[in-house]
């Protein structure tokens, strides 16, 4: 494992003070992060969300400026996180 890989990020445990609960994956600006239910609760993430708030904001800004498919490509280039263009298309309508 390399030091820059999201799995090695330790700040979530330090910020939340816990590692308890079932784990889940959340897409963020630094990649996919494995967090637990308790950590998500501490970070005020909804149970149904798969995107971190800042990453979601970045996605919405890209879609506002580009088509869904180009926004999807641009997000993957900038962050390394792959997100489908249909997800970007459906996302704003769900709110």
Pseudo-torsion of CA 27, 28, 31, 33, nearest 10°?
-60
- Taking a C-beta distance cutoff of 8 angstroms, is the pair 29, 54 a contact? yes
Distance CA 92, CA 95 (A): 6
pLDDT at 8: 47
- Residues 4-20 have pLDDT tens digits of 455 545 678 878 888 88
Cβ-based neighbour number of residue 62 at 10 Å: 20
pLDDT at 88: 77
């Amino acid at each position: 494992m390399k030091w820059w890989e999201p799995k090695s990020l330790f700040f979530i445990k330090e910020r939340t003070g816990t590692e308890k609960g079932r784990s889940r994956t959340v897409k963020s600006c630094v990649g996919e992060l494995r967090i637990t239910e308790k950590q998500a609760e501490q970070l005020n993430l909804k149970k149904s969300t798969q995107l971190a708030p800042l990453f979601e904001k970045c996605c919405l800004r890209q879609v506002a400026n580009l088509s869904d498919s180009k926004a999807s490509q641009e997000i993957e280039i900038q962050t390394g996180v792959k997100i489908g263009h249909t997800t970007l298309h459906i996302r704003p309508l769900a709110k």
